[in-house]
């Protein structure tokens, strides 16, 4: 995430399109692990399109986009979280760097962490959990994804900025330890109280 430019992908008019096999966004090994854990072997027709936008934004495609961030809006239960899951797996696999997943509630973190442990465990990577009473330790070599609540993600990013200042390094050098950042339930930014915490986090990242 090197610039504030954002590509907005609105999918309000989804239809019951036929399910099609996903393009090879991840390796066969990762795809097999994903199918085993999530039970999803194919995507709706619009989902590969979204992933191609994410791929272009990351600079990993043959025609990289100048847009560095992607905002996906779609109806409830349309499959947005699945896009985030595949995007994290894609970035981790291609860069060797962990992803950062930000969720609004501890209950969601617990549920998601269980799935991600099963997924990344098959790839010999760990899930670093930073929520509630969990204080995981980020290891670049062993960590596949860091799962945080909004508040803990803020603390983590603050710590990275402090490390940059203490070591006289550019802040980006520390933030770029992550291959990507996925923020689920982005509409929380409009919520009273905690919405401001999410806004602060996004401002730091952008």
Helix locations, the chain, DSSP H: 28-38, 46-58, 80-95, 106-121, 150-166, 171-175, 194-205
For tokens 């085993």, the residue is: 36
| 85 falls within a domain | yes
Mean pLDDT of 59-79: 71
Predicted confidence at residue 170, as pLDDT, reads: 64
The answer to pTM > 0.75 is yes
Query: Total domain count for the chain?
Result: 1
Residue 11 placed within a domain: yes
The DSSP line for 79-118 is SHHHHHHHHHHHHHHHHS--EEEEES-HHHHHHHHHHHHH
Question: Would residue 178 count as lying in a domain?
Answer: yes
> In this model, does residue 191 exceed pLDDT 60?
yes
Distance, CA of 182 to CA of 185 (rounded, Å): 10
pLDDT at 43: 81
Q: What integer is the mean pLDDT of 163-182?
A: 76
pLDDT of 171 reads: 59
Structure tokens at 95: 């860069």
Dist CA 38 CA 27 (whole Å) = 16
What is the per-residue pLDDT across 39-51, written as a single tens digit (0 to 9) for each?
887 888 888 888 8
CA angle 73, 120, 69 (to 5 degrees): 30
CA distance 66 to 59: 8
Which residue range is the domain that position 74 belongs to?
Answer: 6-205
**Does residue 164 fall inside a structural domain?**
yes
Tokens 């617990």 identify what position? Answer: 110
Q: pLDDT tens digits for 116-167? A: 999 999 999 999 999 998 887 777 678 899 999 999 999 999 888 887 777 7
Tell me the CATH number at 186.
3.40.50.300
User: How far, rounded to the nearest angstrom, does the alpha carbon of residue 193 sit from its chain's CA centroid?
Assistant: 24
Residue 1 within a domain: no
Residue bearing the bigger pLDDT, 156 or 173? 156
Residue 201 maps to a domain: yes
């Amino acid at each position: 995430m090197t610039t504030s430019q954002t590509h907005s992908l609105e999918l309000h008019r989804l239809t019951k399109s036929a399910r099609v096999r996903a393009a090879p966004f991840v390796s066969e090994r990762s795809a097999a692990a994903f199918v085993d854990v999530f039970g999803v072997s194919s995507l709706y027709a619009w989902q590969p399109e979204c992933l191609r936008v994410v791929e272009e934004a990351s600079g990993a495609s043959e025609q990289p986009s100048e847009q560095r961030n992607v905002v996906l809006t779609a109806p409830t239960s349309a499959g947005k979280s699945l896009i985030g899951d595949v995007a994290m797996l894609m970035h981790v696999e291609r860069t060797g760097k962990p992803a950062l997943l930000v969720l609004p509630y501890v209950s969601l973190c617990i549920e998601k962490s269980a799935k991600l442990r099963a997924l990344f465990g098959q790839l010999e990577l760990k899930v670093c959990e930073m929520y509630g009473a969990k204080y995981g330790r980020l290891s670049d070599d062993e960590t596949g994804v860091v799962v945080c609540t909004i508040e803990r993600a803020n603390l983590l990013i603050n710590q990275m900025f402090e490390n940059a200042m203490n070591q006289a390094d550019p802040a980006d050098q520390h933030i770029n330890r992550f291959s990507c950042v996925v923020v689920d339930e982005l509409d929380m930014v409009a919520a009273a109280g905690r919405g401001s915490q999410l806004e602060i986090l996004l401002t730091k990242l952008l």
